[in-house]
Amino acid sequence: MPDLSSIPLSALAILLAAASLWLMLPRGGARGRGIGMILGAVALGLGAARLPSLGQWMADGIFLVLAGVTVTSAVGAITFRNPVYCAIWFGLSLLGVAGLFFFVGAQFLAVATVVVYAGAILVTFLFVLMLAQPEGKASYDRTGWETSVSAALGMIIVAVLSISISGALSAAKGDGGSFRQDAKQLGKVGSENFLRPPSEDAMAANILAPRHVARFGDEVFSRHLIAVEVAGVLLLAALVGAAVIVERGQRSAVKQPRSEGGDQKSEIAD
């Protein structure tokens, strides 16, 4: 368990986060988004104060900026009434996650996230919104299901996850705690080797190697070659499936006006 003096502060952060999410989610015209934003900022500040330092102040600052942008944009993506704004905030959240990937050293994945997620998936979302979104603000965009319960439970899940993360990782410091005794019985997890970071040379040769994409490609096309082939087949199946779904949908959508003509081909098609 993390040190007991910081539990009230963390509990307060979770409570404020739940309240702010509840206030900001669409609730059928109820107001309170401004207060929700302020409470959310306070909760983020409290959470950031609890984070262990990364050593240098610049690393800390960059990480906090990236993490702040990511989390704030994700909250914006679920909160706005207009779904196009939600998609755009999601794009910003993707940029934040890509920044965090760069920070951790996964350069290929950062660029892949921007190119594939923000460049393809997000654009597909926007196209579908263009085809399917009503002109004005629809009523179903301004209400939500059980906002209070879901905000509370979501933040409780985040609290449980963060307690288990802090508890498991602080066991490596040697501060101990009840996790240690339970973890030792599992054998491997409680051992010091699991949570000891690898040496600098091992890191520089592998994950933080200067030619990162070359190392990445080595791993993908040697140890995970079959998975690459299967992913290719999956992409083909998705492509064909999407085309078939849309074509079938078009055919059954136009079936009604054409049934007077008695077009046999479309009647036996489905």
* CB nearer to another protein: pick between 257 and 262: 257
Q: What CA dihedral angle connects 121, 126, 130 and 133, to 10 degrees? A: 100
Which residue among 133, 177, 190, 255 contacts another protein (CB under 8 A)?
133
Pick from 9, 11, 65, 242 the residue near another protein by CB under 8 A.
Answer: 242
Task: Give every CB contact of residue 182 below 8 A, 6+ residues apart in sequence.
Answer: 190
Residues of this chain, 105-124, that bind another protein according to CB under 8 A: 105-106, 108-109, 112-113, 116-117, 120-121, 124
SS3 of residue 192 by DSSP:
coil
Taking the complex as a whole, how short is the minimal distance between the CB of residue 264 and another protein, in angstroms?
A: 23
Site string for another protein, 201-240 (x = CB under 8 A): -xx--xx-------xx--xx--xx--x---x--xx-xxx-
**Per CB under 8 A, 12 contacts another protein:** no
Q: Which token pair is 168?
A: 């498991």
Tokens of 161: 């996850």
Q: Tell me 143's DSSP state.
A: -
Please tell me whether residue 46 binds another protein under the rule CB under 8 A: no
| Placement of tokens 């199946």 in the chain | 237
How near is the Cβ of 160 to another protein at its closest, in Å? 9
101 with 117: CB under 8 angstroms?
no
At 87, the amino acid letter reads: A
Q: Binding to another protein by residue 198, rule CB under 8 A?
A: yes
Interface residue with another protein, options 173, 178, 184, 267 (CB under 8 A): 173
Q: What Rg do the C-alpha atoms of the chain give, in angstroms?
A: 25
How far CA 236 is from CA of 131, 233, 239, 243, in Å, comes to 24, 5, 5, 11
CB 108 within 8 A of CB 216: yes
Question: Of residues 58, 131, 186, 226, which one binds another protein by CB under 8 A?
Answer: 131
Answer yes or no whether residue 143 interacts with another protein by CB under 8 A. Answer: yes
Which residue has tokens 């078009």? 250
Identify the residue among 34, 52, 61, 176 touching another protein (CB under 8 A). 52
DSSP 81: S
23 near another protein, judged by CB under 8 A: no
d(CA 154, CA 143): 18
Least separation in angstroms between residue 181's CB and another protein is 20
Sole binder of another protein in the list 41, 158, 177, 266 (CB under 8 A) = 158
Total binding residues toward another protein, as defined by CB under 8 A = 100
Helix (H, G, I), strand (E, B) or coil at 1: coil
> Pattern of binders to another protein over 60-99, x per CB under 8 A?
---x---x--xx--xx-xx----x--xx--x--xx--x--
- List Cβ neighbours of 37 (8 Å cut-off, separation of 6 or more): 20, 24
Smaller CB separation from another protein, 4 or 131? 131
Residues 6+ apart with CB under 8 A from 235: none
Least distance in angstroms from the C-beta of 23 to another protein = 13
| Least spacing, CB of residue 210 vs another protein, in Å | 15
